[in-house]
Amino acid sequence: MQLAEFNSLDDAKAAQVLRPCIDIDRWIDQLVAQRPFASTGDLIAAAERSANPFTDAELEAALAHHPRIGERAAGDSAEARLSRNEQSALELDADINQRLAEANRAYEERFSRVFLIRAAGRSSEEILAECQRRLSNDDATELAEVSEQLRAIAVLRLSQAVGETAAAPSH
């Protein structure tokens, strides 16, 4: 979808376009209310600064839709298709798959949430190393990392949803 079309949608339809990308109601509401955007860059900048900071409830709800890294999302929802696409480049041999599963379990035991990382453009080894590194974070530091990763995933998806390829997030 092109930005002009997105700008012209009624609020409910614009929110439907955003939901697979963002899935935090306050974030969606803020972006819908800020339309029209002059450029995709303006939309992305608004997405990077809106709904900041996330509440614990918002993060918990958003994380409920993200599969473990290395596991393919089930179902036919737009979000599941996006997740499968983002993880499609991961080449998981048996050793990496096992080590990533162990790191995911350790992360979940430590932080009581799924490990979240923007997988697109990263190798399996990079993701594993990042998960292992983040296991040493304190709760506040890790919460900030989760928020940053959630934004990076949303920006990537949002850039694709409005017809442009995403660059690396600016933060």
pLDDT of residue 53: 92
pLDDT of residue 80: 47
DSSP element (H, E) containing 80: helix 78-87
pLDDT of residue 160: 87
Asked whether the beta carbons of 34 and 44 are under 8 A apart, the reply is no
pLDDT of residue 95: 84
55: which DSSP letter? P
pLDDT of residue 50: 93
Q: Is 12 exposed, middle or buried (0-12, 13-18, 19+ CB in 10 A)?
A: exposed
pLDDT of residue 163: 61
Q: Which residues of 106-128 are buried (b: 16+ CB within 10 A; e: fewer)?
A: ebeeebebbbbbbbbebebeebb
Report pTM.
0.79
Task: Encode pLDDT of 120-133 as tens digits.
Answer: 888 888 999 999 99
pLDDT of residue 79: 57
**Of residues 81 and 118, which shows the higher confidence score?**
118
If you average pLDDT over every residue of the chain, what do you get? 84
**Of residues 63 and 31, which shows the higher confidence score?**
31
CA angle 104, 150, 112 (to 5 degrees): 35
Task: Encode pLDDT of 51-107 as tens digits.
Answer: 999 999 999 888 887 777 766 545 565 554 555 455 555 556 678 888 988 999 999
Helix axes 11-18, 25-34, angle to 10 degrees: 130
Domain at 3-161: CATH architecture: Orthogonal Bundle (1.10)
Looking at 91-134, list the stretches that DSSP marks H as alpha helix, in order from N- to C-terminal side: 94-111, 124-134
